[in-house]
Structure 1
Amino acid sequence: MTQAEILTLIDDELFFDNIKTELSDQKIIWKDHSGTENSVLPHQTAFNNEGVFAWWQCNEAGKEHVHIRLKERNVITWKPPVDTLIQPIFQEGLLYFHENYLIIKYKDRHYQRLFIFNIKTSKDEEIILNALTIQVKIINNELFLAGLYSDEDFIKITMHPDHIERETIDENYLRERNIIFD
């Protein structure tokens, strides 16, 4: 499925909620009940092979949300936690599905945050790195994380159907497996 097709699905979902939007190949824009502009860009979307899709909803007043549309036409709304009074932003963000996990990376003022959200249980877990910027590499059910400009923080997350396992790794482990962060 292309990102333009996902935008169309999101637009349809908003239509079912009686929201009038402007849709193009690059963006969906609409105003909410308070007159605040909301938008979704193609790179702020994700989908899995089971027909589940998600999108990061930008809001000019800072009320950002992630919406996850399940197969049953149910929509889960997840509000990105912030540690500051500044709004979360999707700058250099990531939305990515692996089976029933949605990986969410976003920026909270000075540093990036990464959450793994289980769409079956509606539970999230934050993966904390001692770094301002998080590099991500996904290989099958393994999520590799590194702090940019940090030689100490490397984490491997293995995503199993019912749980995730976290393991601290080092540069030698990455070299042995030929894992390079793009």
Structure 2
Amino acid sequence: MTTRYAALLRGINVGGHKKVPMAQLRALLTELGHSDVQTYLQSGNAAFTSASGAEDALAEELGAAIEKRFGFGVDCLVRGGPYLRAVADACPFPAAELEAKQLHVTYLSAPVTADRFAGLDQAAFLPEEFRLGDRALYLYAPEGLGRSKLAEALSRPALLSGTTATTRNWNTVVKLVELTRD
């Protein structure tokens, strides 16, 4: 049995650093034995089909292959299509009423609990808000991620320590769901 997955690479092709051309990423995933490989944008989103059912093992394999091929490490998350659909469906904000730049999902390598964020005064950041989901953090930032003070606060190492985190805007969240449909 095969499954459609998305690989989410963190921090590549940003400001000319950690360059991973998408054609080379597609070739690398194919060399690793995956099929039906597609990429989306230049920011490290790839969809592929694999017989493996172990997301963490797939992410580790891809991260090691990228380091070997390109000479630098990259944090990778791999998530199956059903999980990506569930994250999109569970969005606590009215996605259909918002601009894509206003809504983001930070995918996390492990679950985090609300107590981790207890010291964060959410009222100080209004109208920006966040909610936790299943290995995901939803962020509503009316002025966009680049101007978000809450996003900056949430990215503090103490809040997400021990987890790999990578953020996508709502357009990308929706596209990843489409790309990983069986």
Please give the TM-score of this superposition, normalised by the length of structure 1: 0.33
Which has the larger helix fraction?
Answer: 2
Structure ID, larger Rg? 1
Higher RCO, 1 or 2 (CA under 8 Å, sep at least 6)? 2
Please give the TM-score of this superposition, normalised by the length of structure 2: 0.33
Which has the larger strand fraction?
Answer: 1
